[in-house]
A and B are shown apart, each in its own frame.
Chain A
């Protein structure tokens, strides 16, 4: 299920959010070796301080399988502050109903190929559906995002179909692009069909505490102890 965690709920999901930062470190630093800052096995940047909305795909054992982060384009975001070159050095798109998605990642270590419930394709599709559904609920018309050519293929295959804006440019080690994603019932249907996503994907807000409890149980004995030391 996809959990929407915003600043009002951060305090209800400390383990889940911590696991998210650890997943981001594993993907963006360990696997992709991008220029990101990792401290103590967690990846975090300036935008995490701006009260973004996080979407987490969490399984029944409380494991974070995938995640992305959302920020309104009317405020600071990656396409305005970090990668302005992707939108031709010009002012990025800004509107109340257009939010930016960033730090999209999937735990390919524990997921398998294909469309099954533990498949990378299915989990990606569920996370995307969660984002689009959330977007509809809060009145959004589009997402923007920066992504590399591999992610572009993944998104297209999943049914997200971004409209490319600006030019492909080298950012660090990869060629990156900026894209605009229309939020519509048609796109959601398409993603569901392509990724075999069935039923509701967004967890109810009350389910967050259960997911956090499961994550916390899972963390005890491994990172739970080191986290406890950090907090103390």
Chain B
């Protein structure tokens, strides 16, 4: 059973594994909204949204927000004035909606969102893509600030990984980027993933390779990113099907 980097509590490690286990490969591309529903279920959220802005201005968005809100948002072209999108376009740092609400007190988007039942507690993770595109993954829950602070602190590492994973999945499924060049695994990533595929634990791999456990974790994270997998099990499966590692 893989473990997260030290410092994360057990429920972090289990949450993202539960999320990954319930997904088949490429289900994000097949049914992104179902994936968002699953994220909300696993992490105790109300709604989740993914939106990417391509270099040509085209917007790709998926959300499980209530239909009436989505309709209102689209009809009023709120994406042009949404503080969440504006901040994600500028900054690479995850944004707590509370933190920007002071700078955007007049925001019609925030005001209307509340009218449609969207809580004011929310978090947005910006993603910078390889083609000059950017994306934002947002989560929200109608709850107190204290509860929200606890939830986000416990899950922010997972949200970071999910944001990048979702972006890469959506890109791969999108017509424009079918030719996305697959970044090869490095020698060490291949080595570590191969041991994982042979059933070794993080500690086993540490001993076998002479790398520190946290470095083993880093290489597995990197392998997951390059293979666009949410769990290491998926990463291993992808690597085997690509012939990058051997099945045993």
Contact = CB atoms under 8 A, between A and B. Distances in A.
Q: Residue among A6, A87, A93, A185 with the most chain B CB within 10 A?
A: A93
A177 interface: no
A105 B226 CA distance: 31
Contact of A90 (B4, B187, B225): B187
B128 A94 contact: no
A184 interface: yes
Contact of A184 (B5, B158, B189): B5
B92 A183 contact: no
Interface stretch (A37-45, A117-125, A134-142): A134-142
A7 interface: yes
Contacts of B207: none
Interface string B1-13: 0001111100000
A198 interface: no
A205 to B, nearest CB: 8
Nearest to B161: A96
Given A74-B127, A138-B156, A141-B157, A163 B212 contact: yes
A71 B5 CA distance: 20
Interface string A193-208: 0000000000001000
Contacts of A94: 183, 222, 225-226
Interface string A36-57: 0000000000000011110000
A75 B130 CA distance: 6
B224 A184 contact: no
Nearest to A205: B99
Contact of A91 (B159, B217, B226): B226
Nearest to B219: A93
B120 interface: no
Interface in A90-140: 90-98, 136-140
Given A95-B161, A141-B5, A6 B93 contact: yes
A142 B214 contact: yes
The winner among B5, B92, B159, B219 for most chain A CB atoms within 10 A is B92
A136 B127 CA distance: 18
Contacts of B187: 88, 90
A183 B7 contact: yes
A155 interface: no
A93 B222 contact: yes
Given A139-B159, A163-B214, A186-B6, A95 B186 contact: no
A23 to B, nearest CB: 22
Q: Which of B7, B129, B183, B187 has most A Cβ within 10 Å? A: B7
B41 interface: no
Contacts of A93: 186, 189, 218-219, 222
Given A95-B224, A141-B221, A183 B184 contact: no
B6 A138 contact: no
Interface in B174-220: 183-189, 211-212, 214-215, 217-219
Nearest to B156: A139
Contacts of A52: 92
A91 B7 contact: no
Given A74-B128, A138-B156, A91 B184 contact: yes
Nearest to A8: B91
A50 B6 CA distance: 30
B90 A139 contact: no
A19 B76 CA distance: 43
Contacts of B164: 74, 95-96
Given A8-B87, A98-B222, A137-B156, 12 more contacts: A8-B91, A8-B100, A75-B92, A90-B186, A94-B225, A138-B156, A138-B160, A139-B94, A180-B215, A182-B218, A184-B214, A186-B7
Interface of B: 4-8, 87, 90-94, 99-100, 127-130, 156-161, 163-165, 183-189, 211-212, 214-215, 217-219, 221-222, 224-226
